């Protein structure tokens, strides 16, 4: 498994070597043209994000262009909602297709005419076998296929049947159009693959104009050729499809000859990226939706607070390989952490508050303490922290009977409030159940902002805090990984991947106390809650006066 390096470096990308050689030898004349070709039948996930970064990134690097093309050849599963969400995802990742937005459905007429040409050339035929007969006669990896009894139909009969298929005269499953290649081929994809099938379904763009639709494997290479794609990049499962890709390009009078290249799909620990399984989680309400911040969808990680810069950094970090591997989720989290450390506004938030009363401050005392928004980026300016007689610290930063190596607050001991003063615990107040509810303390007025004590005594512990009388209440959602094991799909026979769901993947804190300035928190910003983690506003549920923050990632990996 690939693990994070102590000094991160970007992994190799073999496709860059191919492109550079193609440019050097003149195989590619003019622009490098790539494409990202999703089928609009669901929400994109992190695997798609890698492909987006790869295709658009290569085009940028070699001053070319990348097309966004929707391969909308299956009307039964495609919706305009998905088209819109995919465009939003690509833009969010920082890429722009400019004027090069295309749909396979734009080419339906031309693809149809080329199918007629294949029939005229004796390279395609209408097959009237049932689906079961087609499957049976196709053979398998050890058994050669058998020719269809309809393979020898005349050109005239094939053209007549194909045109009547288009006219809607037949029902679904009555006829299909197949390429006439080789039923004995060791490559199953070359055993007279399907070109067209009858589907009497409403298409999201063409409506009811068509009742026959081209197969993806036929439409895809022709679409690439019409768009003059130079490098058609796809994942390894399409490697065995490449001979048919080349056959289509060579046997149809297309205006260009694109070439297909395959790279290893992205597999990651702690994730399930099967669309079917993600749909199960949504339908069974095991998550709140496709954009649940625990989901590996682009809309999910966006809502979680991951930044496009960190996703692009991750795509470069893991590189592009020809062989399958499993990427550690820690690598993604470290990329997110790196970017947020550079950019996140600093703030203080107390998730499990315990009140501290500073007895040697007068009632109504309020002092504004200035500190930086970011320690290394002075352009972000300063923020003001109201220091008052009553403050909150986190319950985890107090212990009544601590061990010797405990440096946070305890009875008779001192601790420094971050950016403020040293305080000393004088008294512990408990409720009837014995729970600590309040600490009575005194502060040392000469120790503001890290200044030393007058007598030189050392105070090792530093804790975060907020004013108890001048703070903001918020809901904070602490997200963990959705699955509790690295390989969620590895389950015993008879069990379902859902047994590996992490029951503690979401903890909701209703009354967290945040520093006052966060009342004006912005959706586009990320915040480091000092000593706690990185957070952002929830884009769906947070409202002015009823703030909701999501934990993006921990300050350091706990895995």
| 90 located within any domain | yes
Q: Which neighbouring-strand residues pair with 515?
A: 471
Kindly tell me the burial class for residue 475, based on how many C-beta atoms sit within 10 Å of its own C-beta (0-12, 13-18, 19 or more).
middle
Nearest-angstrom CA–CA distance, 242 and 217: 9
Given this model, what pLDDT does residue 79 score?
A: 87
Q: Please indicate, yes or no, if residue 376 is contained in any of the structural domains.
A: yes
**End-of-domain residue from the set 196, 230, 263:** 263
Considering 231, 263, 295, which residue would you say is the last residue of a domain?
263
The catalytically annotated residue of 138, 146, 275, 484 is 275
Task: Specify whether 275 is catalytic.
Answer: yes
Q: Are 119 and 158 in contact (CB under 8 A)?
A: yes
**Among residues 16, 39, 123, 438, which one is catalytic?**
39
Report, in angstroms and rounded to the nearest whole number, the Rg of the chain calculated over CA atoms.
Answer: 31
Active-site position among 123, 146, 265, 498: 265
Is the overall model pTM greater than 0.85, yes or no?
Answer: yes
DSSP letter (8 states) at residue 496: -
Statement to judge: residues 59 and 191 lie in one domain: yes
- The span from the CA of 125 to the CA of 118, in Å, is 9
Burial (Cβ within 10 Å: 0-12, 13-18, ≥19) of residue 6: exposed
Q: Do 82 and 222 fall into the same domain?
A: yes
Q: What DSSP element (H or E) covers 536?
A: strand 533-537
**pLDDT reported for residue 78:** 84
Long-range contacts of 193-199, Cβ-Cβ distance < 8 Å, separation of 24 or more: 193/217, 193/218, 193/244, 194/218, 195/115, 195/118, 195/124, 196/115, 196/162, 196/165, 197/172, 198/165, 198/170, 198/171, 198/172, 198/173, 198/174, 199/74, 199/75, 199/76, 199/172
| pLDDT lower than 70: segments of the chain | 1-7, 559
Flag whether 494 is marked binding: no
3-state SS assignment for residue 518: helix
Contact 534, 349 (CB under 8 A): no
Task: Tell me how many degrees the CA angle 330-39-103 measures, rounded to the nearest 5.
Answer: 130
On whether 200 is known to bind a ligand per the annotation, the reply is no
Q: Look at residue 180 and give its three-state secondary structure.
A: coil
Give the DSSP letter string of 246-315.
HHHHHHS--S---EEEEEPPPEETT----HHHHHHHHHTTSSSSTT-TTSSBHHHHHHHT--HHHHHHHH
Going by the DSSP 8-state scheme, the letter that residue 27 receives in this structure is: S
- C-alpha 419/C-alpha 464 separation (Å) is 9
Say yes or no: 259 and 378 in one domain. no
Active site residue 265: yes
Instruction: Select from 469, 494, 513 the last residue of a domain.
Output: 469
Q: Residue 195: which CATH number?
A: 3.40.50.620
The pLDDT, as a whole number, for residue 6 is 58
Q: Is 274 annotated as a binding residue?
A: yes
Residue 440 to residue 427: CA distance in whole angstroms? 5
51 marked ligand binding residue: yes
User: Is 376 a catalytic site residue?
Assistant: no
Are 257 and 385 part of one and the same domain?
no
Percentage of the chain exceeding pLDDT 90: 93
To the question of whether residue 498 is assigned a binding role by annotation, the answer is no
Is 531 among the domain residues? no
Same domain, 242 and 367: no
Residue 427 included in any domain: yes
**50 annotated among ligand-binding-site residues:** yes
Phi and psi at residue 463, to the nearest 5°: -125, 155
Residue 365: CATH number of its domain: 2.40.240.10
Is residue 154 a part of any domain in this protein?
A: yes
Helix axes 46-61, 308-318, angle to 10 degrees: 80
In this predicted model, what pLDDT tens digit does every residue of 265-312 receive, in sequence order?
999 999 999 989 999 999 999 999 999 999 999 999 999 999 999 999
Give the residue ranges of DSSP H helices in 2-78.
14-25, 46-61
Q: Are both 254 and 108 inside the same structural domain? A: yes
With beta carbons less than 8 A apart as the criterion, state whether 301 and 309 touch.
no
Q: Residue 173: what pLDDT?
A: 96
**Quick check: is 180 in a domain?**
yes
Check residue 545 and give its pLDDT.
93
Report yes or no on 479 lying in a domain.
no
The whole-number pLDDT of residue 559 equals 62
Q: Is 47 annotated as a binding residue?
A: yes
Domain region containing 259: 31-263
Instruction: Kindly give, in sequence order, each residue whose CB lies less than 8 Å from that of residue 435, ignoring residues fewer than 6 positions away.
Output: none
306 is in an annotated binding site: no
302 assigned to some structural domain: no
Residue 105 and residue 234 in one domain = yes
Q: Are residues 253 and 366 in the same domain?
A: no
Q: How far apart are CA 83 and CA 80, in angstroms?
A: 5
Domain co-membership, 251 together with 361: no
Q: Is 340 exposed, middle or buried (0-12, 13-18, 19+ CB in 10 A)?
A: buried
Torsion sign over Cα 409, 349, 531, 368: negative
| Cα gap 415→453, rounded to integer Å | 12
Q: How many domains does the chain have?
A: 2
pLDDT at 281: 96
């Amino acid at each position: 498994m690939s693990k994070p390096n102590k000094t991160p470096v970007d992994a190799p990308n073999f496709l860059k070597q191919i492109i550079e050689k193609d440019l050097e030898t003149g195989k590619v004349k003019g622009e490098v043209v790539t494409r990202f070709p999703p089928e609009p039948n669901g929400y994109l996930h992190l695997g798609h994000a890698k492909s987006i970064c790869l295709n658009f990134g290569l085009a940028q690097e070699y001053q070319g262009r990348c097309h966004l093309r929707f391969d909308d050849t299956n009307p039964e599963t495609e919706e305009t909602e998905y088209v819109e969400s995919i465009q939003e995802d690509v833009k969010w990742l920082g890429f722009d297709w400019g004027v090069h937005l295309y749909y396979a459905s734009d080419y339906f007429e031309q693809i149809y005419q080329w199918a007629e040409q294949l029939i005229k050339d004796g390279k395609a035929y209408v097959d009237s076998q049932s689906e079961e007969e087609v499957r049976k006669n196709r053979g398998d990896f050890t058994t050669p296929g058998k020719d269809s009894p309809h393979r020898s139909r005349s050109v005239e009969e094939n053209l007549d049947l194909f045109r009547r298929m288009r006219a809607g005269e037949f029902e679904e499953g009555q006829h299909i159009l197949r390429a006439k290649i080789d039923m004995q081929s060791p490559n199953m994809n070359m055993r007279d693959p399907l070109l067209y099938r009858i589907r009497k379904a409403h298409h999201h763009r063409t409506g009811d104009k068509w009742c026959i639709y081209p197969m993806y494997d036929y439409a895809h290479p022709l679409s690439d050729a019409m768009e003059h794609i130079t490098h058609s990049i796809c994942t390894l499962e399409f490697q065995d499809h490449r001979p048919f890709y080349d056959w289509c390009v060579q046997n149809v009078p297309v205006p260009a000859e694109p070439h297909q290249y395959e790279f290893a799909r992205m597999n990651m620990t702690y994730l399930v990226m099967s669309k079917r399984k993600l749909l199960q989680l949504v339908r069974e309400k095991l998550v709140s939706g496709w954009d649940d911040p625990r989901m590996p969808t682009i809309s999910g990680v966006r809502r979680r607070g991951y930044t496009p810069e960190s996703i692009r950094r991750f795509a470069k970090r893991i590189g592009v390989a020809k062989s399958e591997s499993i990427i550690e989720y820690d690598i993604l989290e470290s990329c997110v952490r790196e970017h947020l450390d550079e950019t996140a506004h600093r703030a203080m938030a107390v998730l499990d508050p315990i009140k501290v009363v500073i007895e040697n401050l007068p009632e109504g005392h309020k002092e504004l303490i200035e500190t930086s928004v970011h320690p290394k980026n002075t352009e972000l300016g300063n923020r003001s922290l109201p220091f008052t007689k009553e403050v909150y610290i986190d319950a985890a930063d107090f212990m009544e009977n601590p061990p010797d190596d405990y440096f946070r607050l305890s009875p008779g001991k001192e601790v420094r409030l971050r950016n403020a003063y040293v305080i000393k615990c004088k008294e512990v107040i408990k409720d009837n159940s014995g729970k600590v509810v309040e600490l009575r303390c005194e502060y040392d007025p000469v120790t503001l902002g890290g200044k030393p004590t007058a007598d030189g005594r050392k105070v090792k512990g530093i804790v975060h805090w907020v004013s108890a009388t001048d703070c903001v209440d918020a809901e904070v959602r602490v997200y963990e990984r959705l699955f509790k094991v690295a390989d969620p799909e590895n389950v015993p026979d008879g069990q379902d991947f859902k047994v590996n769901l992490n029951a503690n993947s979401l903890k909701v804190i209703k009354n967290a106390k945040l520093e006052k300035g966060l009342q004006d928190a912005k959706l586009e910003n990320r915040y480091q809650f000092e000593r706690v983690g990185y957070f952002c506003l929830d884009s769906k549920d947070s409202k002015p006066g009823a703030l909701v923050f999501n934990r993006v990632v921990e300050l350091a990996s706990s895995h």
